[in-house]
Amino acid sequence: MQKIYIRVLIMMICSASLIMAGCMATTRNLNPQDETHYDASYDFSDKNKIVERLVTPLLTAPAFPVQTKPILIVYPVVNETSEHISTGGITDAIRTRLVQSGRFRFINESQRDNIQKETNYQNQGYVDPAQRVEQGRQSGADYILSGTLRSIKKQQPEQMRLFKKERIYYSLDLSITDLKTGEIVYADQAELAREASKPIIGW
């Protein structure tokens, strides 16, 4: 009799464990370089691909000889897609790669107000004169780096079908403009196209 109770108890524990394991929230680390897409829309894998595609040729572009180390200022990539995409992530990644290459220097436009605040403070008499940062010595940009992200979306026309197909084409046009002449001295384009399908019927 006691054996039966033990068996029942073991079975109950096993069942409870299985149910709990099935319902448990899980987390796992992903490699940011791995390509993962849940649908056709833009995601972090696309960002990495676009950045890689644009930065590699720029590093060897003859327009910017190795010894010159030009100074660039980054203007935000304009989002002309039909999705809310944070294009700041693209410009930040491009800038990081270019800074790390040692071929380019960058003006930190987003910190201008803070730089002004800090240098004003230093020159108000609180900081040791020998250590004060002299005002009016900031570097000026030689070039503007800018871009536009666009997309073209096409959905399968309405007809009898079990899956809804969607195709999206993305393009990022990157350009570098010479501040002195206003001339575009470098331009490149990265493209991505993807098709995804979604079942029309679900639970």
Give residues in contact with another protein (CB under 8 A): 78-84, 153, 164, 198-203
Nearer to another protein, 125 or 202 (CB): 202
Q: Look at the chain and count its residues.
A: 203
As given in the structure block, the two tokens for residue 176 are 């570098």
Q: How far is the CB of 167 from another protein (least distance, A)?
A: 13
Nearer to another protein, 15 or 82 (CB): 82
Nearer to another protein, 97 or 169 (CB): 169
Nearer to another protein, 18 or 78 (CB): 78
Nearer to another protein, 42 or 104 (CB): 42
Q: How far is the CB of 195 from another protein (least distance, A)?
A: 17
Nearest Cα residue to 142 out of 105, 94, 178 = 178
Nearest Cα residue to 74 out of 90, 50, 63, 58 = 90
Nearer to another protein, 28 or 84 (CB): 84
Q: Residue 28 — φ and ψ, nearest 5°?
A: -150, 150
As given in the structure block, the two tokens for residue 48 are 């990495």
Residue pair 50/91 in contact (Cβ under 8 Å)? The answer is no
Q: How far is the CB of 87 from another protein (least distance, A)?
A: 8
| CA distance linking residue 155 with residue 85, whole number of Å | 20
First-to-last CA distance in the chain? 45
Positive/negative CA dihedral, 80, 47, 167, 197? negative
Residue pair 94/162 in contact (Cβ under 8 Å)? The answer is no
Q: How far is the CB of 176 from another protein (least distance, A)?
A: 21
| Contacting residues for 63 by C-beta, under 8 A, at least 6 apart | 176, 185, 186
